[in-house]
Structure formats: C-alpha cells, structure tokens
Amino acid sequence: IAPTSSFGLLRQPREVLYGAGQRAALAPMVLALGNQVVLVTDERMAGDPFFNDVVVALRRRGARVTVFDQVTPDLPVGDVDAAVAHVRSSEASDPEVVVGIGGGSCIDLAKVLALVLRHGGSPRDYYGEFAVPGPTIPVVAVPTTAGTGSEVTPVAVLSDPEAVMKVGISSPYLIPHTAVIDPVLTGSCPSGLSAASGADALSHLVESFTAIRHEPTSELYQERVFVGKGALTDAYARYGLELVGRSLRTCVHTGGEGPHRDDMAMAALCGGFALGTAGTAVAHAFQYPIGALTHTAHGVGVGCLLPYAMAFNAEARPEETSEIGRLLGAGENVTPQGAVRAVADLLSDIGIPATLADLGVTYDQLDEIAENGLRARRLVQNNPVPLGAVEARELVELAFTGK
C-alpha cells in the first residue's frame, strides 16, 4: 500500500526513562553508547553534586569525559561555536555520545553540538527543516526543567544576533537517543522558572491538540492510527493537560520536590511527544520575533500569547477548545470561551504577563512582530485558522492591548 500521509505517527527516542531516582541510571546508559563522552551543561548544574557524581561515575568506569559548562539561556549560536572548539581540543575530541543536562538550552546545545561534530560546518548551515543530512552522534537528554520537552523532540532552538528571530533546526535526526527524566532534578526550580517552563509545556499541549497536523488526514491514517477521537498525539495532549491542571499551580506556589513535580515532568514529556509529531502553531510563531526583541523567557512569551491564539482559533476548533478547559478542571460544561478564560486565569495565577505591553513590547514594534511571525511558515501553516498579514496584525494588536 502506498503511504498517503507524509506525517509520521509518532517520533520518539529509542529509550525514555522516567521517575524519581532514574538519574542513577544515567552513567550506565551513557556508557552503553560509548566511552568518549561530552557532557553539556551550565554553570549552575556544573556545581551540583549530582553532576559531579555523574562525572566521577563515568571516569571510574574508564570513560574519557569532556565537560562544556558554559551554556547560557536561550542558547546564543555563539555557545555552540564555543562548545565545538572546546570539544575539538579536549580529551574526548571524537565523542561517541553527547549528554545534555539542564533546561532546554543545555539539551538543545547538546543536539546541535552532536550535529556539528558529526557533519561539520556551523549551526547556521542547518537552520530550517531539511538541512540535517543524517544521524548525529547519539544524544542523551536529562531535563532539569519541566517545560520544553526537548528531551524527546526533533527540534533545537537558538538565538542568532544576525537573525531578527529565534531560529530552529528541525529534523527527526535531532531526536535524542535516550531521555532520562528524573522529576527530582526539577525540585530546585524557583517559582518564576516553574511558571515559565510550565507555561511552555501548556502551550505545547494546547497547540498540538488544536493544530492542523493533529487531524487524521487520510483513510490510511484513520484506519491504522485513529485512537478514539483524534490522532495518537491527542492521547498525550489530553493526559498532559490533566496533569497541568492538577499540578502547575502547586509547582509555582509551593515549589520543592513532590508529586506535583512528577506531574509536571510527565506533562512536559507529553507535550514534547505531542509537538514532536503534531507541531505547534501561531503562539510559537509570534514568540520568535518577540523573544528576539524583548529577550523574554521562551515560556513567558508563548504563555502570554496563548489565550489570544486560542481565542483566534476557537471557532475552528470548538470541541477541542472546550475539552482543553475540561481537562484543566474548568467543569464539564465549559464553553470554548470559558476554556480560553480558564487558560488565561491559570497563566495569570502563575504570574505570566497578560499582554505584550506587559512583556515590554512597544506599539511601534507590532508591525515588525506581525510580519516576522508570519515568516515562521512551518508554524503558521500548522495553525487551524489561516493567517495573512491583516489577521496577523490584528492578533498581535489584541495581544498587545489585551482587549
């Protein structure tokens, strides 16, 4: 039978470990992939006893280990260049495995480093969707925030001073080989970081649940992968949304370790699975120029835009929008408008700014944001309601004024 859909059913790592204590399995998992190891992290994690334990465990078992611990948030492309130069002059100059430990920025750097070390050139050669020529060095991803889902996604996001927006590299070859998700590692996230990364996870779940690519698209698709109502990724989105409804507020307002961290680590994972196949849409598209202009944390920007994007899309996705509200705990009979309000309330409760003006955007930047957001074509085309220049400008204006 000739395939009738070009969209994969599900893209995922070879192995995903999840649960409190799984960090103890990291060293053996890494050594199973090779003896020359690069560990990518930031200064905070490099000073954490867990990180030191990993280095000691790897070296004790004979591994050659290089540490790059200079990752900065939002991953400037210069960090990748620095990491490549560092590894090439180190004791593991020809690594067999690259391990990213930290937030999305550390994991994304591990992915791009593994790509550039294997295929040469610079990160800029691989921007976009079709430029990665083949498998990279295997990556093991260990998230310490609960948000990006990067531990399982085919994407890496960078900021490039030469570009007006954040830039992405997207390819199934970027999916980590192994993800080790230990929610205990997120227990140290302060309230603001829990909110930003939680809003990011929520945005992944909502956008993938309403995206064009969440629709079963062909007979073959319906026959083979129709699971209840909607695509298989919907099952991940539904589960993730329930967990967000149950535990995001607690992560932000109570913090520390506990079952709420287990929930949000799982929600972020579900968001990663869902977005890795169904993709995200317009809230992410407009965050690209906003992030570049304001240097707002990624999750804060997408979270701010999310209710406006949902309201814009509600007419095309009334059932899904209501279901999002139900899953978040807004009641059985919630309307699409009520569901948008429930999402806005949740985001407000965790301190996400309500408007682009609150993020520091100025009115004279709106044209530029609308124009550049549309250039994220992969995301805009995945939005359930088509957007042209007029609609984009209107949406950005609404998000600016909050009306």
Residues that bind ligand NAD (CB under 6 A): 42, 44, 73-75, 102-106, 108, 144-145, 147-150, 153, 155-157, 166, 185-186, 188-189, 193, 196-197, 200, 298-299
CB of residue 71 vs ligand NAD: minimum separation in angstroms? 7
State the minimum distance, in angstroms, from the CB of residue 64 to ligand NAD.
Answer: 26
Those residues whose C-beta lies under 8 Å from the C-beta of residue 102, and which sit 6 or more positions away, are 40, 41, 42, 44, 45, 71, 142, 143, 144, 145
CB-nearer residue toward ligand NAD: 145 or 171: 145
Q: How far is the CB of 322 from ligand NAD (least distance, A)?
A: 26
Note the residue count of the chain: 403
Nearer to ligand NAD, 106 or 366 (CB): 106
Q: Each residue of 336-364: b (16+ CB within 10 Å) or e?
A: bebbbbbbbebbeebbbbebbeebebeee
| 190/228 with CB nearer ligand NAD | 190
Q: What does R_g of the chain's alpha carbons equal in angstroms?
A: 20
Instruction: Name the minimum Å distance from CB 303 to ligand NAD.
Output: 11
Are the beta carbons of 108 and 52 closer than 8 angstroms?
A: no
CB of 89 vs ligand NAD, minimal distance in Å? 25
Rounded CA-CA distance 26/17 in Å is: 9
Rounded CA-CA distance 151/201 in Å is 12
- Report how far residue 356's alpha carbon sits from residue 347's, in angstroms, rounded to the nearest whole number: 14
Residues 6+ apart with CB under 8 A from 161: 76, 77
**Whose Cβ is closer to ligand NAD: residue 174's or residue 330's?**
174
Q: What is the DSSP string of 93-117?
A: SS-SEEEEEESHHHHHHHHHHHHHH
63/189 with CB nearer ligand NAD: 189
Rounded to a whole number of angstroms, the minimum distance from the CB of residue 249 to ligand NAD is 18
CB nearer to ligand NAD: give 148 or 365: 148
Which is nearer to ligand NAD, 159 or 313 (by Cβ)? 159
Query: For 159, what's the count of Cα atoms within 13 Å in the CB-facing half-sphere?
Result: 21
End-to-end CA distance of the chain: 51
Please state the φ and ψ torsions of residue 272, each to the nearest 5 degrees.
Answer: -65, -45
For 83, the token pair is 């990491």
Parallel, antiparallel, or unpaired: how do β-strands 97-102 and 64-68 relate? unpaired
Nearest residue (beta carbon) to ligand NAD: 103
CB 40 to ligand NAD: min, Å:
11
By beta-carbon proximity to ligand NAD, the closer residue of 95 and 291 is 291
* In the complex, minimum distance from the CB of residue 256 to ligand NAD, in angstroms, rounded to a whole number: 11
